[in-house]
């Protein structure tokens, strides 16, 4: 983790992934929790206070993006094969998967209306959760 208080400096290194971490995101209402998406086919949730992995969830591909639902109940994890897995944040089990037939550049939630947005090459699609 990076310390932005005074100057940019390395504050903590979280170890556990076996490949590169392509994206991380902080929980909106629990500022001590962050989630990471990795090429090692796992998504992990970390506790920044203890600097330990809370859980590791196996996915079906090399992950490149990750985001929390606005209420923190679900994680959406996208992989290189354009499959988005939805992970229940209470049980850390995959509860749904959505296969896209376009290149998914990123997947995120629009916080005001709890909409899910998938940003594709040349196309944006918005859906309400749950599908």
Per-residue pLDDT of 54-110, as tens digits, reads 999 999 999 999 988 888 888 989 999 989 899 999 999 999 998 987 766 555 555
Average pLDDT value over all residues in the chain: 79
pLDDT of residue 123: 47
Radius of gyration of the chain (CA): 15
Strand order in the sheet with 63-68: 63-68, 74-79, 83-88, 94-99
Q: Distance (Å, rounded) from C-alpha 105 to C-alpha 103?
A: 6
If 0-12 CB within 10 Å is exposed, 13-18 middle and 19+ buried, where does residue 85 land? buried
Residue 24 domain boundaries: 2-128
User: Which of 71, 73, 86, 72 is closest to 118 using CA atoms?
Assistant: 86
Q: Find how far residue 104's CA is from the centre of its chain.
A: 14
CATH of the domain at 46: 2.130.10.10
Contact 80, 61 (CB under 8 A): yes
Is the pLDDT reported for residue 116 higher than 80? no
User: Which of 59, 62, 75 is closest to 26 using CA atoms?
Assistant: 75
> Number of structural domains, the chain?
1
Contact 106, 123 (CB under 8 A): no
What average pLDDT score do residues 105-129 get? 51
pLDDT band at 15 (very low <50, low <70, confident <90, very high): confident
């Amino acid at each position: 983790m990076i310390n932005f208080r005074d100057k940019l400096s390395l504050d903590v290194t979280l170890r556990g992934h076996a490949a590169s971490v392509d994206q991380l995101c902080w929980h909106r209402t629990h500022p001590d929790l962050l989630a990471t998406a990795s090429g090692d086919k796992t998504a992990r949730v970390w506790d920044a206070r203890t600097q330990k992995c809370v859980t590791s969830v196996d996915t079906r591909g090399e992950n490149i993006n990750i985001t929390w639902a606005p209420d923190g109940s679900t994680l959406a994890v996208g992989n290189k094969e354009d499959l988005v897995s939805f992970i229940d944040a209470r049980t850390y089990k995959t509860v749904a998967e959505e296969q896209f037939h376009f290149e998914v550049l990123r997947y995120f939630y629009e916080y005001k209306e709890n909409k899910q947005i998938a940003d594709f090459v040349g196309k944006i699609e918005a859906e309400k959760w749950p599908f």
